[in-house]
Amino acid sequence: MSSYVQLLDNLDRLKLTKMKEYLPRYLDENVAKEMSFTEALKELTEQELAFREERASAIGLKKSRFPYQKGIRDFDFGYQPSISKAQILDFSSLRFLETADNILFIGSSGVGKTHLATAIGIEASNRRVSTYFIHFTDLVTKLKRAYAENRQERVIKHFARYRLLIIDEIGYLPIEKEYSNLFFQLIASRYERRSTIITTNQPLSRWGEVFGDPTIATAIIDRLVHHSSIVKITGRSYRIKDKIVNEEPELSERGRN
């Protein structure tokens, strides 16, 4: 077996996929350009590292369970002037993670809360931050099942370990007091340790109705808002945006008649 074939076999065994793929080209360039061995090896290893970073990012995004792939650049700040673009860009820098701060997006349905939370989460996942996205009703379902099987502590620890946990749409359905207490335990376990992003269609003043107990709701709110940024979105729903745009020419035409 030639040394070249042996080298390819070694790269296979070491799972250096990209190095093996680019090796023939770099050997040709080494001859043509008189590239030094160290320069060629540096470029080969850079290709391998870039490939591994890209693969790790893809795996992280899949594990994070985002509902879709939308970033900050996909958000129309002109349509929602109540939102500070500078503030959202600051969130996307992930500075809030360093101090275990939380972010609360509050607004009616369709104003972009989930989009912004997802965009920040994707940025975190791309930077190899352990991130998980879950709808509030799905989280409550998991807590209920865990409670019935007497493994709630294990489930709470599971969700507590993520450096960034995104809980989407608190408030659509009220939950029973005993499960509200489990949710409180989760929030308490993350308090001042990990960051949480919340989206909700209910003002904090009505969370007592959501959680079925004003005392538990107050305890949850206290831990969420102590170190947090609260973003209240008062604009129109994105779901009617295209309809409004399509109707404007028609309305203008009617005005001329």
Residue 241's pLDDT is 66
Burial grade of 48 (CB within 10 A; 0-12, 13-18, 19 or more): buried
Q: pLDDT band for 33, please (50, 70, 90 cuts).
A: low
Is pLDDT at 246 greater than 80 in this prediction? Answer: no
Final residue before a domain boundary, out of 48, 64, 80: 64
Q: Has this prediction a pTM greater than 0.85? A: no
Q: pLDDT band for 44, please (50, 70, 90 cuts).
A: confident
Higher pLDDT, 246 or 73: 73
Number of domains in the chain: 2
Residue 248's pLDDT is 46
Per-residue pLDDT tens for 82-113?
Answer: 999 999 999 999 999 999 999 999 999 889 99
Residue 253's pLDDT is 47
Q: pLDDT band for 115, please (50, 70, 90 cuts).
A: very high
Is the residue at 100 inside a domain?
A: yes
Is the residue at 249 inside a domain?
A: no
**Mean pLDDT on 131-142:** 96
Domain match, 32 and 146 both: no
Domain match, 131 and 221 both: yes
Per-residue pLDDT tens for 206-224?
Answer: 999 999 999 999 999 999 9
Domain match, 133 and 23 both: no
- Helical packing angle, 17-33 and 3-13, nearest 10°: 140
Domain match, 30 and 140 both: no
Domain match, 156 and 221 both: yes
Domain match, 56 and 136 both: no
Is pLDDT at 43 greater than 50 in this prediction? Answer: yes
User: How many other C-beta atoms are found inside a 10 Å radius of the C-beta of residue 185?
Assistant: 15
Is pLDDT at 251 greater than 50 in this prediction? Answer: no
Cα torsion for 220, 192, 131, 52, to the nearest 10°? 180
Residue 124's pLDDT is 95
CATH number of the domain enclosing 154:
3.40.50.300
Is pLDDT at 35 greater than 70 in this prediction? Answer: no
Helix (H, G, I), strand (E, B) or coil at 230: strand
Final residue before a domain boundary, out of 25, 48, 64: 64
Contact 217, 91 (CB under 8 A): no
Is the residue at 253 inside a domain?
A: no
Mean pLDDT of the chain: 86
Domain match, 8 and 130 both: no
Is pLDDT at 198 greater than 80 in this prediction? Answer: yes
Which of 30-34, 66-70, 74-78, 172-176 bottoms out in mean pLDDT, i.e. has the lowest? 30-34
Domain match, 129 and 20 both: no
pLDDT above 90 as % of the chain: 57
Is the residue at 247 inside a domain?
A: no
Helix (H) or strand (E) holding 180: helix 177-190
Domain match, 126 and 48 both: no
Domain match, 109 and 18 both: no
Domain match, 235 and 213 both: yes
Is the residue at 252 inside a domain?
A: no
Spatial CA neighbour of 168 closest among 134, 194, 121, 141: 134
Long-range contacts of 238-245 (CB under 8 A, 24+ apart): 238/76, 238/79, 238/110, 238/111, 238/112, 238/115, 239/109, 239/110, 240/110, 241/76, 241/79
Burial grade of 239 (CB within 10 A; 0-12, 13-18, 19 or more): exposed
Is the residue at 117 inside a domain?
A: yes
Which of the 8 DSSP states describes residue 70?
-
Domain holding 36, by residue range, is 3-64
Helix (H, G, I), strand (E, B) or coil at 215: helix
Per-residue pLDDT tens for 151-185?
Answer: 999 999 999 999 999 999 999 888 998 899 999 99
Higher pLDDT, 119 or 62: 119
Residue 42's pLDDT is 75
Is the residue at 13 inside a domain?
A: yes
Is the residue at 135 inside a domain?
A: yes
Query: Sign (positive/negative) of CA torsion 203, 205, 207, 209?
Result: negative
Domain match, 160 and 53 both: no
Question: Which residues, other chains included, contact 46 with Cβ-Cβ below 8 Å and sequence gap of 6+?
Answer: none
Most confident of 19-23, 47-51, 133-137: 133-137
